[in-house]
Amino acid sequence: MIRKEYRVVGIVQGVGFRPFVDRIAKKNGCTGTVCNKGPYVEIHVQASKEQVAAFRKDLEALAPSRSAILKIEEKTLPVQEERNFQILHSQKVKGDIFVSPDIAICPDCQRELFDPSNRRYLHPFINCTACGPRLTILDSMPYDRVRTSMKDFPMCPSCEKEYTSITSRRYHAQPVCCNDCGPELYLVGQDVHGKDALRQTRQTIVQGGIVAIKGIGGFHLCCDATNPKVVQRLRTIKNRPFKPFAVMVRNMEVARREAEIRDGQEEVLDGYQKPILLLKKKAGKIVPEVAPDNPNIGLILPYAPVQLLLFDYPDEIDMPDCLVMTSANPKGAPICRTDQDVIENLSDICDLVLSNNRPIRLRADDSVLSWFDHQPMMIRRSRGYAPLPFMMHKKGDSVVLGIGGELKNTFCLAAKDLYYPSPYIGDLSDIRSVQALKEAIERMEELLEMRAELIVCDMHPAYQSRQLAYELGRPVLECQHHYAHILSCMAEHQIDQEVIGISFDGTGYGLDGTIWGGEFFICDTHTFKRVGSLEPFEQVGGDLSSKEGWRNAVSILDKEDWQGLDLCFQDQAELILQCKAMKINTVTSTSAGRYFDAVSAILGLRKVNTCEAEASMVLQFAAESYQGKALDVPISMQEADFFILPMKALCTFLAQAKKSGEDIACLAYTFHVVLAHWICEGALQASRQTQSKMVVLSGGVMQNVLLLKLCKEELEAQGFTVLTHKLSSSNDGGIGLGQAYYGMENIRRTKVCVSDYPQK
């Protein structure tokens, strides 16, 4: 007889881990205990040596699919007098905390949901140990019902019985409930509940209405994606002419009808995270208004029971099998979480609000993935992924908060070797998002039981995120924006040696007070040297120049080249040239994003962005539609210690070619090819100043999969190792991770600022 203690560290909370341990202990004839300690699960088992060995084997081999075991520590204990195996009450101890992300409804629950003989038939909150909300309903750890927003719903005797019965799928499933004891659907502002509320919602959608529906991490705006009129109405009232809407499809069959689904994409689409996946659109039933001028479509499968019921319910209503499902938020503000949020912000947009009385504690938008090089590529990391940590093999010795950037804010809390990215917060130009950021930091610090000793922020003097960093009253370290982009990719790949970092991006504050955004660095985790950039140009007109690409085109090109391109009226152009000459509202910029905007305008594709990156996306789509070879461009890049990519000459070439009637798609493609070639050339020039043959590609522009592909191929052909983003985001959503990595690597080496908010 022997007795062992196993400490299992990882995502072992709220995934049915203790019931699983209980089952395999009994199966292998072991006595002992299992206890949820918060940071880990502690197991004591006692049996013959062979039985314990069999138990140990099962522990790893048969662990629930949603768990993630990071390590198992083992200890031998003295044998005790004992008769059975027991699950003990949770005991909180200090240590690393792993909070489970929310998990999409599992196939078993899906089956029960539509089984008339099941007592949870059509129950909109059905869940089990393998599925259901986690992070978004959690108050504190360890994960037990009393510490979730389910604490207001005492279990009925039948649920209680399942909850305590070892043979049940809901043994110790914290959010367990049923039609008798669970939360309830209702229509906001009306006395309509339960199945009537659902029926009326379905009716409204079929009749061409727009409804707000409370999901797992917030509200969605939903309408029939096969009805052009309602989709157009949604566009008009949201003032969103271009930005594509995500579409929830009834099932995988419908997904295959609407989009090309290739190698491995089905698995990601149908995985238990259920993200939005960007796919090639097919001619299906989804109307073009859902994603105008866009060859791609973001599809998502239902992941909350209420969403399944939207599609299928035993009433006489014939629902469409594709629904627009877009985050319900006022422009720029975070996703609506409470009824109050919706009433205040969206009452004039939607015809109906389907809510429920299970509170959402922490917002989580749907995650968005793109596809690159046979693998998923993160665009927005939120529900289903957050707060799954990135684990480093290197241990820091403090707690650091990377507070994130200004757009697409996501922060990252890091302790020792674990980096926990927050769910998506939003754009901080909106004060409500700043408030949401503040709340989310507090909640995450509470949940993970850590308090950051150091906060890392961007250097931009006008950023709200920077101001908040100083307001929190802890030591602050500033990290340059594009360097943070590179660091985020290095963190994901656990790299700390010197690399060539290429950061192509929209806008970021440079060390010299100009706008950066097309940068070549030689850097490690401590410092960076800027060795090259795109050719600087004068960005005229402040914020307008980020929205209206034609302004940059006028500023970049000579008069004889922009004339005849129909970019703007003569007097508009004159004004820009005057401001440029007198340096009024003008800033020097190397932003790649702005060059993409300018080229899009020059080629007559898009003069204005109605949403972020619209002009560059349209430029990319045009290039991707081209089947031939790129034009020969007779411009070469000079060699220098600090090299410049000759963008003005390239823009001039494109303008002249456009005027002489060259094919637009060919020119768009040529622009991509030349840029990628120069990026590779830049890497070669940089590599003369470093031993490193490793290139890191980051920044928002690197979400352009055509550019990314062209760069990667050419760089690899030149013998470089190329690192790109996969599970972290290359846009500003990844900044927090990079900042946290910087803080952790430098907290003991760098003098940090503890003063008040410094004005620049």
Which residues make up the interface to Zn ion (CB under 5 A)?
A: 106, 109, 128, 130-131, 156, 159, 178, 180-181
Residue 379: CB minimum distance to Fe ion, A: 13
Q: Give me the half-sphere count of Cα atoms (radius 13 Å) on the Cβ side of residue 150.
A: 26
Helix (H, G, I), strand (E, B) or coil at 147: helix
Of Fe ion, Zn ion, none, which one sits near residue 732, judging by CB under 5 to 8 A according to partner kind?
Fe ion
Please identify, using beta-carbon distances, which residue of 136 and 265 lies nearer to Zn ion.
136
Contact 179, 120 (CB under 8 A): yes
> Smallest distance from the beta carbon of 269 to Zn ion, in angstroms?
19
Size of the site for Fe ion (CB under 5 A): 2
Name the minimum Å distance from CB 503 to Fe ion: 8
Q: For residues 131 and 676, which CB has a smaller minimum distance to Zn ion in the complex?
A: 131
Distance (Å, rounded) from C-alpha 365 to C-alpha 221?
A: 12
Pairing of strands 259-260, 276-281: antiparallel
Rounded least distance, CB 363 to Fe ion, Å: 22
Contacted entry of Fe ion, Zn ion, none for residue 181, CB cut-off 5 to 8 Å set by kind: Zn ion
Distance separating alpha carbons of residues 503 and 712, to the nearest angstrom: 14
Phi, psi of 71 (to 5 degrees): -160, 160
Helices (H), 385-459: 431-447
- 365 makes contact with Fe ion (CB under 5 A): no
The answer to whether 266 and 252 have CB atoms below 8 angstroms apart is yes
Residue 279 binds which entry of Zn ion, Fe ion, none, CB below 5-8 Å type-dependent: none
Beta strand pairing call for 368-372 and 375-380: antiparallel
Q: Which stretch binds Fe ion (CB under 5 A): 163-171, 190-198, 702-710, 727-735?
A: 727-735
- Closer Cβ to Zn ion, 123 or 672, answer by number: 123
For the CA atoms of 197, 198, 204, 208, the dihedral, rounded to the nearest 10 degrees, stands at: 160
Considering CB distances under 5 to 8 angstroms, the limit depending on partner class, which of Fe ion, Zn ion, none binds residue 159?
Answer: Zn ion
Nearer to Zn ion among residue 156 and residue 633 (C-beta): 156
Residue with Cβ nearer Fe ion (224 or 732): 732
CB of 377 to Fe ion, least distance (A): 16
Element (H, E) at 457: strand 454-457
Please report how close the Cβ of residue 750 comes to Zn ion at its closest, in angstroms: 48
- The site map against Fe ion for 460-499 (x = CB under 5 A) is ----------------------------------------
Q: Which two tokens mark 393?
A: 């093999």
In 91-135, beta strands by DSSP E:
none
Binding part of the chain for Fe ion, among 101-109, 435-443, 658-666, 726-734 by CB under 5 A, reads: 726-734
Cβ proximity to Fe ion: between 321 and 505 the closer is 505
Distance CA 462, CA 471 (A): 14
Q: How far is the CB of 181 from Zn ion (least distance, A)?
A: 3
Tell me the C-alpha distance between 313 and 318, whole Å: 9
Of residues 365, 538, 548, 732, which one binds Fe ion by CB under 5 A?
Answer: 732
Q: Are strands 276-281 and 412-415 parallel, antiparallel or unpaired?
A: unpaired
Nearest residue to Fe ion, using CB? Answer: 505
What are the residue ranges of helices labelled H in 211-276? 228-238, 252-258, 265-269
Q: Which does 505 bind (CB under 5 to 8 A by kind): Zn ion, Fe ion, none?
A: Fe ion
Residue type, 522: I
CB of 601 to Fe ion, least distance (A): 21
Task: Write the burial class of residue 157 (CB in 10 Å: 0-12 exposed, 13-18 middle, 19+ buried).
Answer: exposed
Tokens of 222: 């939903």
Q: Using the 8-state DSSP alphabet, how is residue 286 labeled?
A: S
Which three-class secondary structure state does DSSP give residue 516?
strand
- Lookup result for tokens 């990844």: 734
Q: Considering the complex, what minimum distance in angstroms separates the CB of residue 475 from Zn ion? A: 44
As measured in angstroms, the least distance from the Cβ of 156 to Zn ion is 3
The option from Fe ion, Zn ion, none interacting with 156 (CB < 5 to 8 A, set by class) reads Zn ion
| 336 φ/ψ sector (left φ>0, alpha ψ -120 to 50, else beta) | beta
Range in contact with Fe ion (rule: CB under 5 A) among 28-36, 38-46, 441-449, 732-740:
732-740
d(CA 604, CA 601): 5
CA-CA-CA-CA torsion for 286, 290, 292, 293, nearest 10 degrees? -50
Query: Across the chain, which distance is largest between two alpha carbons, in Å?
Result: 94
Beta carbon nearer to Fe ion, 159 or 437: 437
187 binds, among Fe ion, Zn ion, none (CB under 5 to 8 A by kind): none
Instruction: Establish if 505 lies at the interface with Fe ion (CB under 5 A).
Output: yes
CB of 651 to Zn ion, least distance (A): 55
Q: Which is nearer to Fe ion, 120 or 530 (CB)?
A: 530
Q: Least distance from C-beta 252 to Zn ion, angstroms?
A: 18
Looking at the Cβ atoms of 181 and 268, the one nearer to Zn ion is: 181
Nearer to Zn ion, 158 or 610 (CB): 158
Q: Which is nearer to Fe ion, 505 or 745 (CB)?
A: 505
Q: Does 458 bind Fe ion (CB under 5 A)?
A: no
CA–CA separation, 438 vs 156, rounded Å? 37
Binding site for Fe ion (CB under 5 A): 505, 732
